[in-house]
Structure 1
C-alpha cells in the first residue's frame, strides 16, 4: 500500500476491522480505531466513540481517510429503530464530521443485503430491493454518504460484501463448517444451489485497494468467485476434515421442508428453539450468488482462491486451533 495518510477505522475492534488494522500495522500505515468497545489487539490505538453520538466522533476522528465499518446487522435486534440510529444516522454523523474536518475520503462497507432476494448473478447494477431492516438501512446509509460526496470534492468508495468468513469468525459459515465437522450434518436437497462467500484475507486486500485508489466514486460488490455449489463446498470440507470425498447423508428437499415446519411447531408450543426451522431449510437450499466487478478496481486480484480460504479456516478452527486466538461472535 502506498498510502501514507492516517486511516481512521470506525468499528475497528470487530472482525473485519481488527484484520484490516493488523495489515495496516504490518505495513506501517498510521491508523486509529474508533469503536464502542475496546480493541483487544490494538488497545493503544483505540478511542471509545459512537457513530450515534456526533460529539464523540468530533472528538475522536483525527485521520485523513475514514473507513466506516460500524453497523447493526444481527437478526435478533429487538429495537428495530437501532438499525436507523446506527446505520443511517451513524453514517450521516460520520459525513458531517468529515465535512467539518475537511476529510475528503470515506470507504464504506455496505452489504449485498440491499438487493434483497436477488436473482443469481446480480451485480452492482442490480435493482435495490431489500427485504429486512438491515438491507434497508444500509442503502439509506449509502444515500447519506452519496449526498456528502456530491456536496464537494469528496471521494467515496462503497463496498457491498457478501457473507464474510475466516479464522476467528463465529458467523454463519463457521456454524455450517462446525456442523459438518461434528458429523451431524445432513445435506438437504440436490445441493446444486450456489452460495456467495468472501474470505477475510481477500476482503481486507480489497479494502486496502479501496483506500489506495484515486477513484472519486465507485460501488463494488465483494464476492470471491467462482461461487461453490453446496455439493462442492460440503465435499471439500468433509475431505479436509474427514478424508471422505462425499457429501454424506442426503434428504430430499420435501422431507427437509416437512421437518423444518415440524420444528417450527415444536418451538411454537414449547418455546424452545431448535437448530432446524423452515426458514433455515429455505435459506440453505436457496442460491445467493452475486456478481462483482472487483477486478475493475485498479486490476485487483484476490490473494487467496476461495478454496484456499476455506482450507485455511478449517485448519485454524478444527485441525490446529490456537486457544489464544481472538474470537469474534457478533459478525
Structure 2
C-alpha cells in the first residue's frame, strides 16, 4: 500500500538516540521495517550504528536519507531550561524545512512527525484534534509551525502522486530510560523528599512509551483513515486519565511505601517554593521544586481527548497503572543509580 510502512520499508529515524527513538526497535522489527538511525548522539545502547548529524544540516540529512522509503522525525528542541527561542526556531522549524527539502530531493512521499499536545496551549476542556491550537510557549509554537510546513509539503505533491504527513501529538510520555516528570516524582517519593500538596483531583493525561510507539506502528502501517484533504493528526494519551492523587497512589504502592495521610494545602506550598524559583533564575538550573512544578502536579488540569485513534481500532497493550508499575520497577532495578544525560542541541549547526 502506498505511503505506509511494512516489510521492505527503510525508514530514516531522525532523533533515533532519544527516549522515544530508543524504544522503536521491537515495533519496527515486528513490521519488517529497517531503521536507519540519525542523531546528534550515538545510540545509547551502543548496539546500533548511528549516522551522526544535525537535523538542520541539509547535506547531512539528504545524504542519510539516500535509499530510504519513509522518514520519522523525532528530533526536537524541547527542554524548559537551557534553550533559547532561536534554537527552538532553528531545530523545530528549520529542521522541518530541511527534512522537506531532503524528501523532495529523493522523491520520498511518506513522513511521520512526532509533534506534541503543547500545540493546543491552555483550554478549559480537553482538546481534541479539531480544537484550534493556541500554543503558549516556544516549544508548542514551533511544533505547530513544523506541522504547517509538513502539511504544505503534503498538499504540494506533483500531479498524479500523493504524499502522506502523519502527525502524532502525544501527551507527557514516560517509561524506562526517561528521567523527566514521573521519574523525578518517583525519586522524590523514594528518597522521602515529597509531601502531597492540594486535593490531587486534577486530571493528568500521560502515555506509556510502549503504547506510543505501538500507536505509531498501528497508524503508519495502514493507509490514512481521515477524509481526503484533511490533515492526518492524532492525539495520543493513555486512557482513562488519572488524577494526580491516583498517580501518586500508584507510585507509593509500586515502591512498597505507605502513602501519607496528610496533604499540605496549596497556598503554603507555593510560598515555600518561591526561594527555589529565585535560586533557579539565578543559577539557570532546572530544580526539582519550583512553583510551576507544584502547580503542575497539584492544581493544573492537563487532560487531552484521544478518542480518534481508538475509534480507528487501536488498543493500547499496557494500561496506565501497569505502565507506572513498570516505570517504578525500572527505577528500582537500575534507574535510581543511573545518571540522566541531557541532550540539548547546539544553537547552530556544527561543521
Instruction: Please say whether Structure 1 and Structure 2 have the same fold, judged by a TM-score greater than 0.5.
Output: yes
Q: How far did residue 293 of structure 1 move?
A: 2.8
CA distance in 2, matches of 1:258, 1:322: 31
The 1:325/1:32 distance shift into structure 2, 3 A limit, reads farther
* Corresponding position of 2:210: 201
What do the CA deviations read for 1:72-115 (whole angstroms, capped 9, x no partner)? 00111343201111100101111111122111110000101111
Q: How far did residue 259 of structure 1 move?
A: 1.5
* Structure 1 unaligned spans of 5+: none
What do the CA deviations read for 1:206-244 (whole angstroms, capped 9, x no partner)? 111132021175101110111110111111111221243
The 1:23/1:45 distance shift into structure 2, 3 A limit, reads farther
Q: How far did residue 275 of structure 1 move?
A: 3.5
Contact kept in structure 2, 1:51 and 1:90, CA below 8 Å: yes
One of 93, 100, 107 as aligned partner of 2:112:
107
Contact kept in structure 2, 1:235 and 1:247, CA below 8 Å: no
Matched, 1:21 2:34: no
1:282-293 matched pairs, under 5 angstroms: 282-284=295-297, 285-293=299-307
CA distance in 2, matches of 1:272, 1:98: 38
CA distance in 2, matches of 1:305, 1:296: 14
Scaled by the length of structure 2, the TM-score of the pair is 0.86
Scaled by the length of structure 1, the TM-score of the pair is 0.91
The 1:38/1:147 distance shift into structure 2, 3 A limit, reads same
Contact kept in structure 2, 1:169 and 1:329, CA below 8 Å: no
One of 66, 88, 99 as aligned partner of 1:94:
99
The 1:297/1:211 distance shift into structure 2, 3 A limit, reads farther
3-state DSSP class of the match of 2:80?
Answer: coil
Q: How far did residue 296 of structure 1 move?
A: 4.5
CA distance in 2, matches of 1:291, 1:323: 33
One of 48, 51, 68 as aligned partner of 2:52:
48
Deviating more after overlay: 116-125 vs 7-16: 116-125
The 1:77/1:329 distance shift into structure 2, 3 A limit, reads closer
Q: How far did residue 25 of structure 1 move?
A: 3.7
Matched, 1:255 2:255: no
* Corresponding position of 2:348: none
